[in-house]
Amino acid sequence: MIDDSEFRRLNEKLMKMLSAIPVMVMVKAGLGISEFLGKDRYTLKDEGDKYVVIAEVPGASKEDVRVYAREDMIYVYAERKVGLRIESIPKKYRIKVKLEEPIDAERVKAKYENGLLIIEAPKKAPGREIEVK
């Protein structure tokens, strides 16, 4: 018979193993056929003229997802109000994505569907050379 302390140790080991396994998500949005989303539940793609962030926020409704953008950062806040109570799926999501190049925060677009949030953040136009007269 397993006592409570043995059960707790086994449960902790199992939870650590499950949290280390990346979740594979199939994406059909012209962004590629699959992405691996790890512990932070997002992936960042640099597509040259824009960044694409794909964030996993299962169980949240579109109305409960908030996206904020500034020149070098994207923030996602969401809350799962319904669904299964599974330790590996958080109830609240706080995702912060640091960007290497500045974006045009006014032109950022976000779409949420079936637990996936897809954010397109156009980069700011680079400076241009000025002709000296």
- Mean pLDDT by runs of 10 across the 133 residues of the chain is 70 63 38 41 90 88 91 88 58 86 94 92 86 91
Q: What angle do CA 101, 40, 55 make, to 5 degrees?
A: 70
CA–CA separation, 69 and 121 (whole Å): 9
CATH code matching the domain that covers 4-122, chosen among 3.90.550.10, 1.10.3720.10, 2.30.30.90, 2.60.40.790: 2.60.40.790
Q: Where are the domains of the chain?
A: 4-122
- CA separation (Å) from 3 to 6, 7, 8, 9, 94? 6, 6, 9, 10, 36
Return the structure tokens found at 128: 């241009």
DSSP symbols for 2-38: --HHHHHHHHHHHHHHHHHSPEEEE--SSS-SEEEE-
What does the pLDDT read at residue 47?
92
What does the pLDDT read at residue 88?
53
Q: Which residues are paired to 67 by β-bridges?
A: 76
Four-CA torsion 100, 114, 31, 101, nearest 10 degrees: -10
What does the pLDDT read at residue 112?
93
For the full predicted model, state whether its pTM sits above 0.75.
Answer: no
